[in-house]
Amino acid sequence: MISSTTYGGSFESFKITIENAKKYFDNVYVVFLYRKSPVSLDMEGIYLQNIKIPDLHKVIFMPILEAKIKPALKNILENNDFDLILSYALILTSSIGELAKSYNIPVILNINSFTKFRAKPIASHYFHKACENCWGLMFASNTLRKDFMKYHNITHSNTHIIPMPIDTEKFSPSDKPNNKDNLIAVGRLVKLKRYDLLLKAMSIISREKPSVKLIIVGDGPQRKKLQKIASQLNIEKNVEFIGYRENMVEIYRNGAILVHPSEYETFSRVITEALSCQVPVVSCSGGGPEEILADDTGGFLVEPRPDKIAEKVIFLLENPKIYAKLGAQGRKRVIQHYSIPVFAKRMEKIYKLALEGDYE
């Protein structure tokens, strides 16, 4: 198993995938392609190796990155007997798949994110190279598969939808009633997340519900700008920026509603974590959330407008029976579609197909 992901939701999913793989394989060899700090995992029964790569992110530097990765991986492949490689290395799989093919090792590429590149032709070249050397592709959502394949003009005969797994035992409802005065927003403070819409919605909400507070979890380059917007809207007392937090379970349990205004999400682990804690969601995100919240199960999808966000938040706060119903529906949906046991069954099927060289 190879990953260039060392933090965030994809990293949490990768760790669950490692634990799951230990049930099906005698040995699990984990390789991290890291740029700044090597990764350590508190897991038994795995072989762990870190490969340092240059801290270069633009696709024009791919030849340099490939030149660093290939020799290190070749050494690993020559000294071990692998049945399968699962890659969470996205575009860096261009060199992994090519090398593995020469050793007749099937590669599965997991794709959890989607980026639009300035140097699109270069990026598409390397993604084409990665995909054509992979036995199969895994996507976190149907929307992500469609958008990724269309953007890079890629076709592949063997694709699978495998949503990010959620530990529903860890992310579970509190025994105590949720704090109905706390709204929660979680994510990096970047333009794509559209926190400006949320703050404008909060100015509407606070006029009708003065005691309600918005807790924003996360950090990023837009923090100062967003704090300034909150000040201009005179809602500083109703908004708290608390930065990153490790224990997200308690954050969700202490919130009434997760408000997720992001412009686009390939999946949205944040939404499934909140739903698993029986916290309803109001979202205006395109992409994965449209699948998770289909038919208003667990929450509402609204237009990306402050008044529409505020309307549904206030509606939920004023209708406790509907609030409770959506919370229960949301947790049930996560257990049925995104829990670890469901993920394990999906992965078992894919592993079997890959090892047999078959396709669905």
Question: Taking the domains of the chain in order of start, what are their residue ranges?
Answer: 2-165+340-356, 182-337
Q: Name which of 14, 9, 57, 58 is nearest 32 in CA terms.
A: 14
Residue 107 three-state SS: strand
The mean pLDDT value of the chain amounts to: 94
Residue from 170, 134, 140 nearest 155 by CA: 134
Mean pLDDT over residues 37-57, rounded? 93
Give the CATH number of domain 182-337; options: 1.10.10.10, 3.10.300.10, 2.60.40.1180, 3.40.50.2000: 3.40.50.2000
Domains 2-165+340-356 and 182-337 share a fold: yes
Task: Give yes or no for a contact between 186 and 179, defined as CB atoms under 8 angstroms apart.
Answer: no
Q: What pLDDT is stored for residue 175 in this prediction?
A: 86
Q: What is the pLDDT of residues 315-344, one digit of tens each?
A: 999 999 999 999 999 999 999 999 999 999
Give the strand pairing for 85-88 and 2-3: parallel
Q: What share of the chain is helix, strand, coil (3-state, %, to 5)?
A: 50, 20, 35
At residue 286, the pLDDT reads 84
**Tokens read off for 355:** 């090892």
How confident is the model at residue 360, as a pLDDT? 52
Q: How many degrees, rounded to 5, is the angle at CA 190 between CA 188 and CA 195?
A: 90
Helices marked H in the chain — which ranges?
Answer: 8-21, 62-78, 93-102, 120-132, 142-152, 195-208, 223-232, 248-253, 269-276, 288-292, 306-318, 320-337, 340-356
Closest of 269, 266, 172, 171 to residue 218, by C-alpha: 269
The predicted structure's pLDDT at residue 111:
94
User: At residue 5, does pLDDT exceed 90?
Assistant: no
Cβ atoms 262, 281 nearer than 8 A = no
In the structure, what pLDDT confidence band is assigned to residue 358 with cuts at 50, 70 and 90?
low
- pLDDT for res 202: 97
- CB 182 within 8 Å of CB 215: yes
Distance of CA 58 to the CA centre of its chain: 21
**Percent of the chain predicted with pLDDT > 70:** 99
Residue carrying the six token digits 């919370």: 327
In the beta sheet, which residues pair with residue 50?
32
Across 162-191, average pLDDT: 93
Specify the DSSP class assigned to residue 215. E
The per-residue pLDDT for range 18-33, each reduced to its tens digit, is: 999 999 999 999 999 9
CA 253 to chain centre: 20
Domain 2-165+340-356 in this protein, CATH class: alpha beta
Written as six digits, the tokens of 213 are 């507070």
pLDDT value, residue 179: 81
Give the per-residue pLDDT at 180: 85
- Asked if pLDDT for residue 359 goes beyond 80, the answer is no
The pLDDT-based confidence of 357 (bands split at 50, 70, 90) is confident
> What is the average per-residue pLDDT within 215-243?
96
Residue 6 has pLDDT above 90, yes or no: no
User: For the chain, first and last CA: distance in Å?
Assistant: 22
Per-residue pLDDT reduced to its tens digit, 232-289: 999 999 999 999 998 899 999 999 999 999 989 999 999 999 999 999 999 998 889 9
